[in-house]
């Protein structure tokens, strides 16, 4: 017969309630007690009955995740990490692509599928802070990304400005002075968002080191695809604008830039250093391997899932806003000119 919670409690020498607290992720259990219970669970091969727990609590143990697309590396890897974190917490994730469509983002928040899930994680691009009230629903929502900010909705995001400034100053510290930036914000577009914040960080990095930004070195990123990185480098080369480094607002753009630089006969990093942003797995296998800024994607997955589960358990607890830590990962696509 399958092991039960009471079997685990007897073997671990603790109460039934203590075992239940460990299984359900209750945080106020001592490390020693948790270790005893987990050892007993492993020895007996106990498997939690999530279906019974869901019926008892009136929950589905399903979480919704809405992202712009899974074909772009960042969102694909973020979705994978959120799915893994949720599975470790006993939840299944229903994932959908919104394709940055306002209609589909609204449907993700307000549509019939919301009745199937206990909560929603969403990274909106078409919706803005003007739409913030739609996220104040009975079923919890945690916002991801930079397009919507509300003091009434839980939110996890990156330190985009600080991280991009740090990347710019890293390149300057290597001796680069003509740093091209791919990812320029549309001057007539939104006042918030990834491109706005990363453009700001790039300019702040230059200013902090006493370097005046040259508008000719700032290039738009189009749809932020590989070919947009290619096009940006082609524009620089055809215009005859001198540059000794490229900082791309995403690894995908950086890999497109890297490809075009090499196709044009330039050596990376001897002639031009290339720095990306996102720390995608693919960047570890380019030639040369891609230096990048890790904005904290893995932390976002951990924190966002835990934040949503906490909101499910405690609907009236204070709203939380978290910016995750970033780090700079130096590989072979950058080198010192000093």
In terms of domains, do 103 and 146 share one?
yes
In a domain, 2, yes or no: no
Residue 290 and residue 179 share a domain: yes
* Residue 50 in this model has a pLDDT that exceeds 60: no
| Lowest mean pLDDT, pick from 17-31, 219-233, 288-302 | 17-31
- Which CATH number is 267's domain given? 3.40.50.2300
Do both 149 and 202 map to the same domain?
A: no
Query: 233 and 132, same structural domain?
Result: no
Question: Do 254 and 146 lie in a common domain?
Answer: no
Q: Domain count for the chain, please give it.
A: 2
201 inside domain: yes
Say whether both 164 and 138 belong to one domain: no
Q: Could you report the per-residue pLDDT of 10-33, keeping only the tens digit for each?
A: 999 999 888 888 877 666 788 889
Q: Using CA atoms, how far apart are residues 261 and 220, in angstroms rounded to an integer? A: 17
Asked whether 50 and 73 are in contact (CB, 8 A), the reply is no
Choose between 296 and 186: higher pLDDT: 296
Does 189 lie in the same domain as 64? no
| Domain that includes residue 72, residue range | 58-158+296-325
| Average pLDDT score over the chain | 91
What global pTM score does this model have? Answer: 0.82
Q: What is residue 264's predicted lDDT score, i.e. its pLDDT? A: 97
CA distances from 167 to 84, 245, 259 (A): 29, 12, 21
DSSP state, residue 156:
E
- Judged by DSSP in three states, 68 sits in coil
């Amino acid at each position: 017969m399958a092991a039960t919670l009471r079997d685990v409690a007897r073997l671990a020498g603790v109460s039934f309630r203590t075992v239940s607290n460990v299984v359900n992720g209750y945080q106020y259990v001592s490390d020693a007690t948790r270790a005893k219970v987990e050892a007993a669970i492993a020895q007996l091969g106990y498997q939690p009955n999530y279906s019974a727990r869901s019926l008892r609590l009136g929950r589905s143990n399903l979480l919704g995740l809405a992202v712009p697309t899974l074909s772009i590396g960042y969102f694909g890897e973020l979705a994978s990490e959120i799915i893994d974190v949720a599975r470790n917490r006993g939840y299944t994730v229903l994932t959908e692509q919104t394709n940055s469509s306002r209609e589909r983002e609204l449907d993700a928040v307000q549509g019939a599928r919301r009745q199937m899930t206990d909560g929603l994680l969403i990274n909106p691009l078409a919706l803005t802070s003007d739409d913030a009230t739609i996220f104040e629903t009975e079923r919890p929502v945690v916002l991801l990304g930079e397009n919507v900010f509300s003091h009434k909705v839980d939110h996890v995001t990156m330190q985009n400005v600080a991280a991009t400034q740090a990347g710019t100053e890293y390149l300057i510290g290597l001796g680069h002075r003509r740093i091209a930036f791919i990812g320029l914000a549309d001057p007539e577009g939104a006042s918030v968002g990834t491109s706005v914040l990363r453009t700001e960080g790039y300019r702040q990095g230059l200013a902090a080191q006493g370097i005046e930004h040259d508008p000719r070195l700032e290039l738009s990123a189009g749809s932020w695809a590989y070919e947009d990185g290619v096009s940006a480098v082609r524009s620089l080369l055809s215009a005859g604008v001198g540059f000794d480094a490229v900082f791309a607002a995403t690894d995908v753009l950086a890999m497109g830039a890297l490809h075009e630089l090499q196709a044009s006969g330039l050596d990376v990093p001897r002639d031009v250093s290339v720095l990306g942003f996102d720390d995608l797995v693919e960047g570890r296998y380019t030639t040369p391997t891609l230096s990048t800024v890790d904005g904290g994607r893995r932390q976002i997955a951990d924190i966002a899932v835990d934040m949503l589960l906490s909101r499910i358990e405690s609907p009236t607890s204070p709203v939380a806003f978290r910016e995750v830590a970033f780090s700079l990962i130096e590989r072979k696509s950058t080198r010192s000119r000093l």
